[in-house]
Structure 1
């Protein structure tokens, strides 16, 4: 049974990835690590500090020591640090949006993204562009950010979160495929589909499908 260690920076990211595994790969054994101070410190920084980068790498190494077959980070604001951790790891270490970005790039050259955590946006757009270039694709990403949705979710108001996210998605008129930027955003999947009539991707589902494929091949 493959063991996947999930590393979270916010509690609201935990339920969506648990649900995605339950639905698409229930056989996987999951171990959760939660460090909310990561998101608190990240929100204070325009750029990732060396201290935060070191902490991400240390967490990846700790996950490996637990016997992980793969590590998945569920917070989208640490891309550069996760890449460094992956380079030093003997097992797959995935960024939260890596699989979703690849999927979107292969669907359309014009992609929209709805985010709710502004500090994560620049890094995510950079990751998207780098992946597109590596895939030989001329893809473009357009992002709208609705911070109020994250605040609503933190207050436990899922309906308001979903409605705010769906309303923001309507701004992306020219993009045939949309992405929900964060694991926590995936709760709005049905609402965004209904509001826009477009193909909508969520990072938890894409990540689980990618991990299942990678680890099944290496088993």
Structure 2
């Protein structure tokens, strides 16, 4: 079986590959990427027609490759799944829906983000599922780019600072970007901390096995 992964940044590649290697090493992964999308999103702050066209081009390539499902890896573009899903018979998974569904077990949820457009996409999903959940969001806009600049320690320290600010104020903390997954291994907050890659890979596998609807 083949699964398509759609990226807007190279920083998502290793986290999602590690996740699939853990849960489904025999699955063939096909990568489709447009690194210009994130800059467009940061400039516009919303899904513009240009972003949708460019994103749909990636989905078209993925679908034409006869994949069994399509997994997004950039949370800022999650809203596009509801736009494009009716056009394709294969399942399009948001980058973080498995993580968010897990987070909904808690009544107060902390969001840590490094892209300023991400919190809105995540909060909309959570509040649509449970209007009564309390969300506390912290964002350090743009520090995701520190990773591609070779400034990983600075990136990680700033993420850990946000986690420390939230620790104890919510029942669970979410690291919104795939690129923060490695930071979870460096910290030990007093509440559970969730990342998306492994949970997303497991959900894809459940879908392929017919155990997720």
Could you tell me which residue of structure 1 aligns to residue 175 of structure 2?
180
The farther-off stretch of 142-151 and 47-56 is 142-151
User: What is the CA–CA distance in structure 2 between the aligned matches of 1:54 and 1:149, rounded to whole Å?
Assistant: 26
Between 201-210 and 163-172, the greater mean CA deviation after superposition: 163-172
TM-score by length of 1: 0.89
Matched position secondary structure for 1:96? coil
Matched, 1:158 2:156: no
Residues 64-109 of structure 1: CA distance to partner in whole angstroms, max 9, x if unpaired? 1101100011111112212211232211101101111011102x01
CA distance in 2, matches of 1:15, 1:190: 15
Aligned twin of 2:201 = 208
Output the aligned Cα RMSD.
1.7
Cα distance in 1, alignment partners of residues 197 and 129 from structure 2: 18
String of CA shifts for 1:138-163, please: whole Å, max 9, x gaps.
32221111236424322223333222
The equivalent residue for 2:136 is 142
2:44 maps to: 45
Aligned length: 210
Asked if the contact 1:17/1:183 (under 8 Å) is kept, the reply is yes
TM-score (normalised: structure 2): 0.91
**4+ long deviations beyond 6 Å:** none
What are the within-5 Å matches in structure 2 for residues 87-106 of structure 1?
Answer: 87-106=86-105
Give unpaired runs (5+ residues) of structure 2.
none
For residues 56 and 146 of structure 2, what CA distance do their matches in structure 1 show? 31
1:91-139 deviation per Cα after TM superposition (whole angstroms, max 9, x unaligned): 1101101111011102x01110110011222222212222335xxxx32
Displacement after TM superposition at 1:55 (Å) = 2.5
The alignment status of 1:35 with 2:34, answered yes or no, reads yes
**Counterpart position of 1:111:** 109
**Aligned residue number for residue 163 of structure 2:** 169
Structure 1 CA distance, aligned partners of 2:39 and 2:140?
Answer: 18
Question: Is 147-156 or 58-67 further displaced after alignment?
Answer: 147-156
Work out the CA distance in 1 between the residues paired with 2:173 and 2:201: 19
Q: Does 1:15 align with 2:10?
A: no
Unaligned segments of structure 1, at least 5 residues: none
Q: More deviation in 96-105 or 79-88?
A: 79-88
Mapped partners of 1:147, 1:46: distance in 2 = 12
Q: Distance in 1 between matches of 2:38 and 2:10?
A: 10
